[in-house]
Amino acid sequence: MKGMDSSEITLGVVGAGAMGGGIAQVAAAAGIRTRLHDARQGAAAETCEKIRDRFAKRVTAGKMSAEEANVATANLLPVAGLNELADCDVVIEAIVEKLEVKTALFKELEELVREDAILASNTSSLPIGAIAAGLKRRDRVAGMHFFNPVPAMKLVEVIQAADTSAVVMDALIELGGRLGRVPVVVKDTPGFLVNFGGRAYTTEALAIVHEGVATPAQVDAIMRDCFGFRMGPFELMDLTGMDVNFPVTRFVHENFFGDPRLRSTPLHRYMLETGQLGRKTGQGFYDHSDGAVTPSTDAEVNAPPAEAIFVHSETPKLSRLIEACGARVLVEDDGQSPVLAAPVGEDASAYAVRNGIDHRRLVCVDTVSDCEQRVTIMAAPGHDAEMVATVVACFAQKRQVSLIGDSPGFVGQRIAAMVANLGCEMAQMGLAKIDDIDLALRLGLNYPYGPLELADHLGSKVTYRILEQAQLLSGDDRYRPSQWLRRRAQLGLSARTG
């Protein structure tokens, strides 16, 4: 196989859709001779023309010189037949996500290309080993999974199947770097790193809405304001589309033999079945039509603010928050004022019973989350609504307030702990290096923290307690802590300890 540092390398791309076109664009711009093929007549030529237009726009914007654009354009060639890829050093497939279609293509390519050529699939979740299973030379097949839009997304997962040779892996890692991507080596597993690890963020948000704990808009606001995510989970699903994210979620869940930690909800399926796909149809979890009203995320203020509050248990962060919002923290419970607490993993009902507190006066505050911009509060069934309203009014003087239904782990604790737990499970399975798991989810999903970094941000003991309590109170093994997390929490170690 030719060295990837050679300026003479020729890359073939099969599939002229968004992914194949994106791969061809970054390859041509990187100085690689690139041939683009699509089974649909004229599609490759049409995509190449669009790529040339993008180069021209980059020149106009000062992001590319005219000379660079000319060289990149010269590197790009649409080809009508697969046989015109015969002398390529690497061929990357980027066609429909159907195993039988991919395997048929790879068998055809195997008969056309040289013995030392590499065949790679851009599949987002199908097993590379299954794609290669019927080939004579399975050792030269690997995965090279880019992310959409390819020119903007810097990650590429390089997937090693059981028979993939080290030489092929080294060559594709080098190629990924030359294409300006950050290559991360991943084991051949359903969903690889990003599509597997990314399940927790959206499925736990769906579970929260399914239980009536919060609205999609409330969930999104909490994850943006209290955990620093660029997009809330429902905004993200509307962006990618239910026709994309539901099938991937179902595929990963089924291929991990129904692991409850990967389970979605009937609402997710219903959105797909009713055509509420998100931005692409104008309606998803949000109304995207012109003039649509943005759903409210903040609790209504309809009472005077509480002036005195008793804090149950020693919780300095909660006491400081109350004082910052203008109320006085009582030294002793006066039997009349609101009682505030900051449970970890518990709901208000369980906390009240365990501590013998009058549930009518109890208001729980999530202090695991960042409270500088938004405060999340909840109360038990049968609570004193007027008293809760005074607490809302108190916090609303200085913060935005989300009032949610009673829930083990509030909203933010639950979602963050589930993201962290799935990252710990990936580390336990050895899907990639610990640093690469975090890197892949930061780059591939724009998370503010990688999942193991998030576990450390919360604290491994806190993360473990959230999950442990949620599993205990719900009876659902969805919250089963990863053994990787349990061991490190019990030993007081970082979740990133190897």
Q: Say which DSSP state 271 is in.
A: H
Cβ-proximal residues to 114 (8 Å cutoff; 6+ apart), any chain = 86, 87
The answer to whether 124 is a known catalytic residue is: yes
Q: Say which DSSP state 482 is in.
A: P
The answer to whether 157 is a known catalytic residue is: yes
The answer to whether 83 is a known catalytic residue is: no
Active-site pick, 37, 125, 145, 421: 145
Tell me the two tokens of residue 449. 């923290």
Q: Are 250 and 263 in contact (CB under 8 A)?
A: no
Q: How far is CA 475 from the centre of its chain?
A: 26
Active-site pick, 75, 195, 337, 460: 195
DSSP secondary structure string for all residues of 281-313: GTBSSSB-STTPPPPP-SPP--SPPPSEEEEPS
Helix (H) or strand (E) holding 14: strand 10-14
The answer to whether 145 is a known catalytic residue is: yes
In the block, residue with structure tokens 């190449």: 48
Q: Are 410 and 153 in contact (CB under 8 A)?
A: no
In the block, residue with structure tokens 């009673």: 406
What distance in Å separates the CA atoms of residue 225 and residue 430, rounded to the nearest whole number? 32
Active-site pick, 93, 110, 157, 425: 157
At 363, phi and psi to the nearest 5? -125, 125
Q: How far apart are the first and last CA of the chain?
A: 35
Alpha helices in 280-411 (DSSP H): 316-324, 348-355, 385-396
Using alpha carbons only, what angle is made at residue 150 by residues 154 and 173, rounded to the nearest 5 degrees?
55
- Report the DSSP beta bridge partners of residue 34: 11, 76
**Position 371: which residue type?**
C
What distance in Å separates the CA atoms of residue 167 and residue 238, rounded to the nearest whole number? 40
Active-site pick, 121, 124, 245, 421: 124
What distance in Å separates the CA atoms of residue 211 and residue 46, rounded to the nearest whole number? 48
Helix (H) or strand (E) holding 61: none
At 195, phi and psi to the nearest 5? -75, -20
Would you name the residues annotated as active-site residues?
124, 145, 157, 195
